[in-house]
Homo-oligomer: A and B are copies of this chain.
Amino acid sequence: MNRQKIADIIDRQSHTDRIGTAYDWFMVLAILVSLLPLMFMKPHKVFWYTELGSALVFIIDYLLRWGTADIRHNNRKTAFLTYPFSFMAIIDLLSILPAVTLLNPALKLFRFVRLLRLMRVLKMFGISSKMRLFLSILRKERQVLSSVLVLALLYIFATALILFNVEPHVNPYTGQQTFHSFFDALYWATVTLTTVGYGDMCPVTDVGRFVSMLSSLFGIAVIALPSGVITACYLDELRKRRGR
């Protein structure tokens, strides 16, 4: 098996490449296995082996990618030097790290870096190409959409400030503390505006309830405006492609 073939498998271009597809699915499996210890409450003996196995797969994948870096980047020989400093290569390296320090539980949270490897999955399912359409819409309408976002954030900030000063910090009915800091008020204001409404913090004063009512009504506009902009732009895009 020559290096060209390995490069083709790793950077699968078409959907008909069976070995490339199998390799991609195998990597998805390795990522899921490597995240297993994060999905259970108590450490388990078997995780030592899953960690070792997934780490080995990641190391081999890293070496294969490094070894074919020149082929995958237009045969530039300098790719061997620049590849380890590319964004994805650093992520790959960081995702191996927690396995090296198996005995040190402090590095447990470092495993979250492996979530970033899921970006490869996006590419695999051909989603990255579809997302480019959405990203082009977002870019074209970035001024309008960012205006809505800044407005929403300013509104959340103002609402949080009012609620934080108007509402009692201890719920008089349940005796539980609601606010611990201004950040909690921001959390509340966001949860209300987006119509999630957990209910762990509820307004108990009349002013607070009035502000919440305004927020929830305003929240409809916050959903309607970006929906409208995205719809209009997507429809436009559909027409253009047909016009060609």
Interface residues of A (CB under 8 A from B): 35, 38-41, 108-109, 112, 115, 118, 121-122, 125-127, 130-131, 133-134, 143-144, 147, 150-152, 154, 157-158, 161-162, 164-165, 169, 173-174, 176-177, 179, 181-184, 186-187, 190-192, 194-200, 202-203, 206, 209-210, 212-213, 216-217, 219-236, 238
Contact = CB atoms under 8 A, between A and B. Distances in A.
A67 B114 CA distance: 59
Given A127-B147, A202-B198, A235-B235, A179 B41 contact: yes
Contact of A38 (B121, B164, B179): B164
A34 to B, nearest CB: 12
A212 B197 CA distance: 11
Contacts of A133: 144
Nearest to A176: B173
Contacts of A130: 143-144, 147
A191 B197 contact: yes
A214 to B, nearest CB: 9
Q: What's the dominant secondary structure at chain A's contact region?
A: helix
Nearest to A219: B194
A151 B176 contact: no
- Most chain B beta-carbon contacts within 10 A, residue among A200, A217, A219: A200
Given A169-B41, A196-B197, A227-B227, A187 B162 contact: no
B165 A190 contact: no
A70 B238 CA distance: 46
B144 A122 contact: no
A173 B118 CA distance: 35
Contact of A196 (B41, B187, B195, B238): B195
Contact of A231 (B150, B162, B232): B232
A134 B225 CA distance: 9
- Most chain B beta-carbon contacts within 10 A, residue among A157, A194, A213: A194
A121 B231 CA distance: 29
Nearest to A182: B39
B165 A109 contact: yes
Contact of A217 (B109, B126, B182, B194): B194
A15 to B, nearest CB: 12
Nearest to A133: B144
- Closest 8 interchain pairs by CB? A199-B199, A228-B231, A196-B197, A232-B235, A200-B202, A194-B216, A130-B147, A39-B182
